Amino acid sequence: MKKFITLMALAGFISTNSNGQNTTALKAKIAQKAETLEAKVVAWRRDFHQNPELGNREFKTAEKVAAHLKSLGIEVKTGVGKTGVVGILKGGKPGPVVALRADMDGLPVKERVEIPFASKAIGEYNGQPVSVMHACGHDTHVAILMGTAEILASMKNELKGTVKFIFQPAEEGAPEGEEGGAALMIKEGVLENPKVDVIFGLHINAQTEVGKIRYRPGGTMASSDWFKIKVKGKQTHGASPWQGVDPIVTASQIVMGLQTIVSRNAPLTESAAVVTVGQITGGVRSNIIPEEVNMNGTIRTLDPAVQDMIHARMAQIATNIAQSAGATAEVKITKMCPITFNDIALTDKMLPTLESVAGKENVSITAAATGAEDYAFYQQKVPGLFFFLGGAAKGKKESETAPHHTPDFEIDEGGFVLGMKSMASLVVDYMEAGNAK
């Protein structure tokens, strides 16, 4: 009996050791292949940067992505969620389905960065001609995932599972009157056939030094809600305000009232929140008090309970202030994007992978961000991990780098190899863990 147990233990050791050796070999192959692909990925990124397209209009970008995936022998589906591209790579061995996602759309921003491949593109945004720029780094995401696809396709027979590559349109939001983004891709079945078990994604960050990775377990990026408040008063001559009800003064009081929600009602030591009024319109002439004022803004939260509280308090404050002035207020809140929530167990499980490819000293927990990311929709359906890849030149201070969504936004291309290594290694390690007995 002892001999039998010893033999079984030895067999288990040999199997485990064999799996470890296989993973080590694949990691070495990933590292070597990523270095080889760097120039190609940089060229792709520059092409996408010079030719950006707005959400739901990424036609040429999608064509280039689909052509590349097909050239690798990957099964390709196009037109998913308007212009989205999905690639399916079936490994040589059974195992979990791992999804990797990149967003493709640019922004209505005019580029000021002096680089040879600067964008001069013009597009149409909600019926208006606009300059178009990759002012958030989505061009880098597409190029990195294309490189990752090439790496994983080269080791197809050794993969223990299936990889689903999701190239998503309209992360920044679809044009008015259209559906788009992650929500539409999910609606059209991107996480099914085959059913996705887990999803990974990255975002380049212009304030993080090249070679570094930042991540956060749990709430990582905020939910994004949009609100509209319509204040109705009574029109009158500007010289005799007592004969009417001034919606401009009332709207001003509502703006100030809304600011007390975060400062007095939100548990700021536990979870940050933001209420911003970004637009106020009302009136046509200096000596006429108008009948109506409209306000638009955004709400950002990192906790669903805080989100619900803010929604309730906004309606309460706006309607009561308006009533006290003899006016009325209509409040409409639209939930645009949920909280980007990194599955805590998955994050803990995959942290060693990120540390192994970047070096433990180069991986750190980041502060929660009040920006939003529609990757969150995938995380509502399957466990997900979303992390940040350094895109600032080495030695450059954060204060010296332009924020995302601005004309001066710029990315150092030295982090692309780490991006490919990270994404490919997450796939291999997750598959190995999923197949471990």
**Residues designated catalytic:** 105, 171
Q: What is the dihedral of CA 259, 263, 265, 268, to 10 degrees?
A: 130
DSSP secondary structure, 157-207, as one string: GG-EEEEEEEEES-TT-PPTT---HHHHHHHTTTTTTTTPSEEEEEEEEEE
Spatial distance between the Cα atoms of 163 and 41, rounded to a whole number of angstroms: 20
| CA separation for the pair 182, 87 (Å, rounded) | 16
Contact 326, 249 (CB under 8 A): no
Q: How many CB atoms lie within 10 A of CB 368?
A: 18
From the CB of residue 256, how many other CB atoms can be counted at a distance below 10 Å? 11
Which residue is associated with the tokens 């992650």?
182
**Residue 129 and residue 106 in contact, taking contact as beta carbons nearer than 8 Å:** no
In this structure, which amino acid lies at residue 224?
Answer: S
Contact between residue 53 and residue 82 where contact means Cβ atoms under 8 Å apart: no
- Pairing mode, if any, of strands 75-80 and 198-209? unpaired
Q: What CA–CA distance (Å, rounded) separates 250 from 401? A: 40
Distance between CA atoms of 85 and 88, rounded to whole angstroms? 10
Instruction: Please check whether residue 259 is in contact with residue 275, taking contact to mean a CB–CB distance below 8 angstroms.
Output: yes
Asked if residue 218 lies in contact with residue 370, where contact means CB atoms within 8 angstroms, the answer is no
* Peptide linkage before 108 cis (omega within 30 of 0): no
Continuous H helices in 51-137: 59-71
* Neighbouring C-alpha atoms within 13 Å toward the C-beta of 391: 26
